[in-house]
Amino acid sequence: MTTLTEPVSRPQPLTTSRLRVVLFCDIMDGTQQRFLDAYEQLRHQVAAVPGHVSDQLCQSIEDPSQWLITSEWESAQPFLAWVDSEAHREMVKPLHGCVRDTRSLRYNIMRETAGDRTFDGPAPVTDGTVRHALTFTVKPGSEAKVAEILAGYRSPAARVDDHTRLLRTSLFLRGNRVVRAVEVAGDLGAALRHVAVQPEVRAVEEAVNPYLEEARDLDNPESARAFFMRAALPAVHHVAAPQQPSAQVTRYALAYPVRSGCGAAVAGLLARQDQQAVAEPGSALVAATLFQREDMVVRVVDLLAPAESVPALALGVDGPRVAGLLARLVEPAGHDLDDAAGLAGFLGECRMDLVTDRTSKDA
């Protein structure tokens, strides 16, 4: 049995792409120099953040009040960890008095050509669907009440604008942790902003507020922004079977008890297994999406069979070698995933309860 003090042979983490962050800034009249002074101080602080590669400050040649800050990061993980931190909130305070409006966009670098050097990142998403998750915790003992509230809301209109549509929202609960996975066609930011102002959604969020472990005020832009940054659980991998079946598909979510520092390795292991599984003829795995942030790993899978009848496939560990690797990357160390009883027990430990699952036709 592996102990916490023994070295772990880890699989390679999920192939990651460098991240490009684009921040549009609309500067208030008469505050240009204040903005430049604040940026001059800020850029040296950001340069010291682990994972930061470079940044640029650009001014519009058509409208001098419009500025653009671009930055490059080794991957999404260090950026998301930093942007969600108290250090970041303190760092950007000097900008608040001179910036009228901002808009932040984040892009994985998929291809790059520089002279005779080229870079190919991970496979891009080509089905036009944006997948994202939000997660937060509620006060222990309030889980049943929170599940009742979250299951009872009326879905908002699926159409956001001419380019964006809500496709599906799946909400799960495990212990006191809530995970809401969303699928959007179009602009994720526009969809989240649209949902946030819908009366039926606001009513549900207000009803949930008293039960949250960490308080939030969605009427306060700074508090709302901080909450959504803390709650963000990005999709890092998605696969789907080449041909979608006509038979009934059931959706499950699994939250893995990841060992400290092993989140990327667990995500990489599961991603490779899902890639292989959907390619196998007759596989019960229809689709799988991995959400990861640091050591939080949640996997949402669509199966043609009950998870209990295909526990190894449901867990993403179809094979003794893979099961052994995963067993050394989760807590407590030494899970026995080599037999049916061990797999069934671990599936029960990881499986989240489905609260609600709604597609656009429900709206």
Each residue of 268-288: pLDDT tens digit?
Answer: 899 999 999 998 988 999 999
CATH of residue 249: 3.30.70.1090
Domain of residue 51: give its range: 19-120
Does any domain span residue 294?
A: yes
Instruction: Give the total number of structural domains in the chain.
Output: 3
Q: For residue 134, which phi and psi values (nearest 5 degrees)? A: -120, 140
18 has a pLDDT exceeding 90? no
Q: Are residues 214 and 255 in the same domain?
A: no
Q: Are residues 229 and 243 in the same domain?
A: no
Residue where a domain terminates, one of 86, 120, 154: 120
Residue 93: other Cβ atoms inside 10 A: 10
CA–CA separation, 183 vs 171, rounded Å?
A: 12
Q: Name which residue leads in pLDDT, 9 or 304.
A: 304
CB 251 within 8 A of CB 301: yes
Look at residues 210, 207, 170 and name the one whose alpha carbon lies nearest to residue 355: 170
Q: Are residues 99 and 144 in the same domain?
A: no
Does any domain span residue 97?
A: yes
E strand intervals along the chain: 19-27, 52-59, 66-73, 99-108, 111-114, 117-120, 129-137, 165-174, 177-185, 232-240, 250-256, 285-293, 296-303, 353-359
Q: Are residues 305 and 245 in the same domain?
A: yes
CB 108 within 8 A of CB 22: no
Q: What is the pLDDT of residue 220?
A: 81
pLDDT, mean of residues 26-41: 92
CB 239 within 8 A of CB 275: yes
52 has a pLDDT exceeding 90? yes
6 has a pLDDT exceeding 50? no
Q: Are residues 145 and 184 in the same domain?
A: yes
Write out the two tokens for 203. 């009513």
20 has a pLDDT exceeding 90? yes
Q: Are residues 156 and 70 in the same domain?
A: no
pLDDT band at 251 (very low <50, low <70, confident <90, very high): very high
8 has a pLDDT exceeding 50? no
Q: Are residues 189 and 78 in the same domain?
A: no
CATH of residue 71: 3.30.70.100
3-7, 8-12, 15-19, 21-25: which range is least confident on average? Answer: 3-7
Q: Are residues 183 and 259 in the same domain?
A: no
Single-letter code of the amino acid located at 216: R
pLDDT, mean of residues 66-81: 88
Residue where a domain terminates, one of 233, 266, 293: 233
1 has a pLDDT exceeding 60? no
Q: Are residues 60 and 166 in the same domain?
A: no
| Residue in the structure block whose two tokens are 């998750």 | 133
Residue where a domain terminates, one of 97, 120, 143: 120
Partners of residue 298 on adjacent β-strands: 255, 291
Residues 6+ apart with CB under 8 A from 18: 53, 72, 73, 74, 75, 108, 109, 121
10 has a pLDDT exceeding 60? no
Q: Quick one: how many helices (H) and strands (E) in the chain? A: 11, 14
pLDDT band at 289 (very low <50, low <70, confident <90, very high): very high
CA–CA separation, 84 vs 228, rounded Å?
A: 9
Does any domain span residue 343?
A: yes
Q: What is the pLDDT of residue 89?
A: 85
Alpha carbon 34 to chain centroid distance?
35
362 has a pLDDT exceeding 50? no
Mean pLDDT across the chain? 86
Q: For residue 350, which phi and psi values (nearest 5 degrees)? A: -90, -30
Q: Are residues 261 and 305 in the same domain?
A: yes
Residue 220: other Cβ atoms inside 10 A: 11
Q: Are residues 115 and 213 in the same domain?
A: no
Q: Are residues 153 and 58 in the same domain?
A: no
58-72, 83-97, 308-322: which range is least confident on average? Answer: 83-97
What confidence tens digit (pLDDT) does each residue in 199-233 have? 888 888 899 999 999 988 877 877 777 788 788 88
What confidence tens digit (pLDDT) does each residue in 126-169 have? 667 889 999 999 999 999 999 999 998 777 778 888 888 888 99
- Looking at the chain, the whole-number percentage of residues with pLDDT higher than 70 is 91
Burial grade of 339 (CB within 10 A; 0-12, 13-18, 19 or more):
exposed
Does any domain span residue 293?
A: yes
**Dihedral (Cα; 75, 138, 150, 158), 10-degree rounding:** -20
